[in-house]
Amino acid sequence: MENIRFKALSAIMNRQPLRNQAEFRCNVEQFGEMTFGLEAMKKFLTEEAYKNLINSIERGDKIDRRIADQVAASLKAWAISKGATHYTHWFHPLTGNTAEKHDSFLDPAGDGKAIEKFKGSELVQQEPDASSFPSGGIRNTFEARGYTAWDPTSPAFILDSTLCIPTIFVSYTGEALDYKTPLLRALNEVDLAGKEVCKFLGFNESRVFATLGWEQEYFVVDAALYAARPDLMLTRRTVFGHASAKDQQLSDHYFGTIPTRIMDFMKEYEYEAHRLGIPVKTRHNEVAPNQYELAPVFEEVNLAIDHNQLMMHLLKRIAPKHNLVVLLHEKPFAKVNGSGKHNNWSLATGSGKNLLAPGKNEKENIRFLTFLTIVLKAVESNSDLLRAAIATASNDQRLGGHEAPPAIISAFVGSHLSQALEELASAGKVTPELKAELDMKISKIPGIMLDNTDRNRTSPFAFTGNKFEFRAVGSSQNCSTAMIALNLIMADQMKQFMKEVTQRIEAGQTKDEALFGLLAAWVNESSRIRFEGNCYSEEWKNEAARRGLSNHASAPEALAAYVTPQTIALFERNNVLNERELRARYDIKLERYVMELQIESRVMGDLATNHIIPIAIRYQNTLIENVKGLKEVIDNKTFVNLAKNQVSYIKEISEHISNIKIAVEEMTEERKKANAIDDNELKAAAYRDNVKPFFETIRHEVDKLEMMVDDELWPLPKYREMLFAH
């Protein structure tokens, strides 16, 4: 019998370089050539249709049916000119992936011929039988229909000869079944409220929108090694594996030279990304061996998220061409860094201003301080929701692990800005003198910012000069949950701001008094979530507890924030999700948590029983044979001395085997008990408290065996192989 691990290793050694990479260089003309962007629209649409579509994109105007027919015809003509044969509505169901159902442009015409068909109605709306997507009980099977509806703010694109039309996905009764619907609703509220705040501060803006620049971390592993790791295949993480003698201790991987095969992979995905209009800009090695990062230039949130989803798809699809598999899991390998997806976020205006950037004059700086303070207050009031938005079983393995932000939500603004805020907070009644003093200080802000080069890498929510960086988002997540939460709380806080300044003015305060008074109050109130120190430290945990901040270590605990009366009211008053939709999402997230742990637990049991124990026994038998043989050839006295070590080695192996067996049996029992629980909250808690603890126990025993058993017998590719083969 051949050892599958050695087969995989020899496959790697016998590999030839794949192809000439010269073709994978995107020139300027090719950028975005596979998207129906402005240029293609101009070329393929009538002037009337073009204008109508642009208004719809920029102002959210409704597109009428006649125009939709024209757009569909042009879209089809464009797609076919690019070699497309099929079309699909492309949406973000609550599985976290994207979904597509392809239809051919060709329609049999009945006389043995076919015509090419794609009408406005097919562009604007479709009715996929989507009863197998998670809906959290919103759709019963008798009303299994879901509707997808065109989102013209994200351009259609061609992927694998298929025209993909970004859409929202809602139920027959109008409830959201996807991520995009509530996201667009939250962004709409940001627009409305943002314009009001700008107006109050003396700026008339046509539009306020949120921007997102994500940084995607990922691991790659050789495809042959991957195929020999059932745990990677089924759970995308290694449930066993002793640490490699060398991994990231020397910090020699971070920003190091990119290995050739990886570089070829990167060139190809960058090429495809650029043709799809994804502005990928940065690529580098990350901290752990075989861990990398890619980041585009920031875009409007909705588009940036579509691009991130598309990018994750491209990574997974292109890697196998290079005999690689991409792992987007937050913690594929124990004891080395996990992967996150920093979400750089800010607000911008139609006139091109970044609302979180210090300005050129006093008025702009007041605007900056106002928006900054609103963000801090929003985070302070809703930190539990932000924590909930990033809660998943896999992100639990990364958060708080001395390599990633802790589960405590705090914000970092830097010492200089912190000081400026403190001064603002301690300012009393706004007298003319005080106003003059504040103005002077505020006008100095850009200078302060330039000096402010200190950056805190440990904070989950850090201000980095002209944007906030939400660092707790997991690498495999759809950014939408984080972006829905962040933009929703921002919209809500902006509305609150308008309400409170108006009340103050109605009570007789001047505009300045009202503004500075409110900012001072909010700076004070939000000081409990501001933290400038090391968020990975024990001191911060204690300090945060003293400040009364939550520290939800596990996803089920954190997710509960989705259904508190406060959250439900927040979502409802901003028309983002109603209580039913919110509860459905909560249930889906809990179910997902349970299923992930359930699969991991089964994989662990299977592997331990079918892969590890048989090999350990085989090796143990060799040792036993060896001892027996020694006894035959050596005199008894010498043998007794010699055999002591051998026998204790055999005993040690026996103990590990027996510990594994016992733990797997007990874990299976606990799993059965947990599976019998109907209530999702209790079931998730049972998995967390009664099933998951066995993972560590079993792993510990298996990893010990890995160090004892003959390397030639060990069936699972080892960490040193998976992390260093490239």
Within 10 Å of residue 250's Cβ, how many Cβ atoms?
9
Residue 664 is inside which H or E element, if any? helix 636-675
* Shortest CB 279 distance to ligand ADP, Å: 8
Quick one: 311 or 558, whose CB is closer to ligand ADP? 311
167 in contact with ligand ADP (CB under 6 A): no
Q: Which one of 90, 179, 345, 531 is in contact with ligand ADP (CB under 6 A)?
A: 345
Q: Which one of 290, 346, 410, 620 is in contact with ligand ADP (CB under 6 A)?
A: 346
339 in contact with ligand ADP (CB under 6 A): no
* Shortest CB 463 distance to ligand ADP, Å: 11
Of 74, 237, 270, 134, the residue nearest 680 (C-alpha): 134
Pairing of strands 341-349, 208-222: antiparallel
Residue appearing with tokens 């906030």: 468
Cα angle: 472, vertex 478, 482; to 5 degrees = 45
Which stretch in 387-395, 459-467, 477-485, 588-596 sits in contact with ligand ADP by CB under 6 A?
A: 459-467
Q: Which one of 213, 332, 358, 406 is in contact with ligand ADP (CB under 6 A)?
A: 213
The 8-class DSSP code of residue 477 comes to: S
300 in contact with ligand ADP (CB under 6 A): no
* Shortest CB 11 distance to ligand ADP, Å: 36
Quick one: 242 or 342, whose CB is closer to Mg ion? 342
Residue appearing with tokens 């694109």: 157
Quick one: 386 or 514, whose CB is closer to Mg ion? 386
Quick one: 167 or 464, whose CB is closer to ligand ADP? 464
416 binds, among Mg ion, ligand ADP, none (CB under 5 to 8 A by kind): none
194 in contact with ligand ADP (CB under 6 A): no
Quick one: 487 or 567, whose CB is closer to ligand ADP? 487
Q: How far apart are CA 237 and CA 665, in angstroms?
A: 22
271 in contact with ligand ADP (CB under 6 A): no
Quick one: 267 or 342, whose CB is closer to Mg ion? 342
342 in contact with Mg ion (CB under 5 A): yes
295 in contact with ligand ADP (CB under 6 A): yes
Binding pattern to Mg ion, positions 294-333, x when CB under 5 A? ----------------------------------------
Residue with nearest beta carbon to Mg ion: 342
Which stretch in 379-387, 463-471, 560-568, 616-624 sits in contact with ligand ADP by CB under 6 A?
A: 463-471
Question: Which residues have a Cβ under 8 Å from the Cβ of 153 and sit 6 or more positions away?
Answer: 57, 184, 300, 302, 303
464 in contact with ligand ADP (CB under 6 A): yes
Pairing of strands 461-463, 468-470: antiparallel
Residue 511 is inside which H or E element, if any? helix 511-526
Residue 280 dihedral angles phi and psi, to the nearest 5°: -65, 135
Residue 167 is inside which H or E element, if any? strand 162-171
Q: Which one of 180, 236, 253, 467 is in contact with ligand ADP (CB under 6 A)?
A: 467
298 in contact with ligand ADP (CB under 6 A): yes
Residue with nearest beta carbon to ligand ADP: 213
656 in contact with Mg ion (CB under 5 A): no
Quick one: 342 or 671, whose CB is closer to Mg ion? 342
Task: Give the residues across from 345 on adjacent strands.
Answer: 212, 468
Q: Report residue 704 CA to chain centroid gap.
A: 33
Quick one: 299 or 557, whose CB is closer to ligand ADP? 299
367 in contact with ligand ADP (CB under 6 A): no
540 binds, among Mg ion, ligand ADP, none (CB under 5 to 8 A by kind): none
Q: Which one of 68, 212, 305, 449 is in contact with ligand ADP (CB under 6 A)?
A: 212
* Shortest CB 643 distance to ligand ADP, Å: 59
341 in contact with Mg ion (CB under 5 A): no
* Shortest CB 400 distance to Mg ion, Å: 18
Q: Which two tokens stand for residue 262?
A: 């990886």
458 in contact with ligand ADP (CB under 6 A): no
- Beta-strand ranges (E) seen in 637-725 are none
Q: Which one of 3, 95, 97, 466 is in contact with ligand ADP (CB under 6 A)?
A: 466
211 in contact with ligand ADP (CB under 6 A): yes
Of 168, 135, 95, the residue nearest 584 (C-alpha): 135
Quick one: 346 or 382, whose CB is closer to ligand ADP? 346
* Shortest CB 3 distance to ligand ADP, Å: 42
Q: How far apart are CA 685 and CA 692, in angstroms?
A: 10
354 in contact with ligand ADP (CB under 6 A): yes
Q: Which two tokens stand for residue 26?
A: 């995107």
Size of the site for Mg ion (CB under 5 A): 1
By CB under 5 A, the residues from 2 to 21 that bind Mg ion are none
Of 439, 424, 444, the residue nearest 523 (C-alpha): 424
Residue 241 dihedral angles phi and psi, to the nearest 5°: 140, 115
Quick one: 464 or 620, whose CB is closer to ligand ADP? 464
Pairing of strands 461-463, 411-412: parallel
Q: Are 301 and 183 in contact (CB under 8 A)?
A: yes
Q: Are 479 and 304 in contact (CB under 8 A)?
A: yes
Considering all CA atoms of the chain, what is the largest pairwise distance in Å, rounded to the nearest integer? 106
* Shortest CB 283 distance to ligand ADP, Å: 12
Strand, helix or coil for residue 360: coil
Which stretch in 216-224, 378-386, 464-472, 675-683 sits in contact with ligand ADP by CB under 6 A?
A: 464-472
349 binds, among ligand ADP, Mg ion, none (CB under 5 to 8 A by kind): none
Q: Are 390 and 472 in contact (CB under 8 A)?
A: yes
Q: How far apart are CA 726 and CA 69, in angstroms?
A: 50
467 in contact with Mg ion (CB under 5 A): no
Cα radius of gyration rounded to whole Å, the chain = 29
The DSSP annotation for 40-79 comes to HHHHHS-HHHHHHHHHHHHH-PPPPHHHHHHHHHHHHHHH
Q: Are 476 and 465 in contact (CB under 8 A)?
A: no
Q: Which one of 216, 238, 302, 344 is in contact with ligand ADP (CB under 6 A)?
A: 344
Residue appearing with tokens 């126990």: 697
Size of the site for ligand ADP (CB under 6 A): 14
Sign of CA dihedral 576, 581, 582, 586: negative
Which stretch in 92-100, 237-245, 291-299, 412-420 sits in contact with ligand ADP by CB under 6 A?
A: 291-299
345 binds, among Mg ion, ligand ADP, none (CB under 5 to 8 A by kind): ligand ADP
Of 157, 126, 445, the residue nearest 303 (C-alpha): 157
Q: How far apart are CA 681 and CA 560, in angstroms?
A: 9
By CB under 5 A, the residues from 420 to 439 that bind Mg ion are none
Q: Are 248 and 288 in contact (CB under 8 A)?
A: yes
Q: Are 263 and 17 in contact (CB under 8 A)?
A: no
* Shortest CB 499 distance to ligand ADP, Å: 27
Binding pattern to Mg ion, positions 579-608, x when CB under 5 A? ------------------------------
Q: Is 142 exposed, middle or buried (0-12, 13-18, 19+ CB in 10 A)?
A: exposed
Residues near ligand ADP (CB under 6 A) are 211-213, 215, 295, 297-298, 344-346, 354, 464, 466-467
Residues near Mg ion (CB under 5 A) are 342
